[in-house]
Structures are given as structure tokens and as C-alpha cells.
Amino acid sequence: MVLRLKGNEGKPVAYQVRILTEYCKGCELCVAVCPKGALEMSDELTDLGVRPACPKADAECTGCTLCYQVCPDAAIEIWETAEA
């Protein structure tokens, strides 16, 4: 099934994973679970002093939501994107 953005009928969507770094505690569960290797740990420290997860530049996110399911800090959002 191809999901579609409202008002964008007919055009297939892509997915984007976003990390809410203010909640992330750097547990790495999302990185370990992602079947696409679309996440990695950042080198930048947050105010908590942890290295947060971040999307890998050239990797493809399929929107499978596995990273969201395992995240203990609800620090992950999955977005749908489409060319209008």
C-alpha cells in the first residue's frame, strides 16, 4: 500500500525520521533496531551530555516505525514527505 499525503493524491510519499534531541538519552536502541541503518549516533552533545541519535545523511527511511516502538523516551517522529 502506498500512503499518500492529503491534497497530494496520486503521488507516492517518502519517509523521514526526526529525532527530538531534547528528549533523547542516547540509549542507541533505535540505531540497533533500524533495518535500513538509517540512524546513527551524533557527535554533538545535548544539554544532558549525551550523544543523541540522528538520521544518517544518505540512508533511506521506509517509515516502518520500529525505532519509534523501541524508543523509551518518545524522542522519535516519523514524517511523510511528498513533492507537490
Partner 1 sequence: MTQAAMKLGRPKALLDNRTHYCPGCGHGVVHRILAEIIDEWDIRDSCIGMAPVGCAVLAYQYLDIDMCEAAHGRTPEVAAGVKRARPDKLVFSYQGDGDLAAIGTNEIVHVANRGEPISVIFINNAVYGMTGGQMAPTTVPGQKTTTSPKGRSITGEGYPLRVCELLATLEQPAYIERCVIGTPNKIRRTKNAIKKSFRVQRDLKAFSLVEVLSPCPTYWRVPPTKAAEYIETYMEEIFPPGIIKDTTK
54 counts as binding ligand SF4 under rule CB under 6 A: no
CB-based contacts of 21, cutoff 8 Å, min separation 6: 42, 46, 52, 54, 75
Q: Is 77 in the site for ligand SF4 (CB under 6 A)?
A: no
Quote the least distance from Cβ 21 to ligand SF4, whole Å: 8
- Nearest approach, Cβ of residue 31 and partner 1 (Å): 8
Indicate the residue among 11 and 28 with the shorter CB distance to ligand SF4.
28
Q: Tell me which residues in 14-43 interact with ligand SF4 (CB under 6 A).
A: 17, 19, 24-30, 33-34, 36, 38-39
Pick the closest to residue 65 from 41, 20, 33, 40 (CA basis): 33
Element (H, E) at 32: helix 29-33
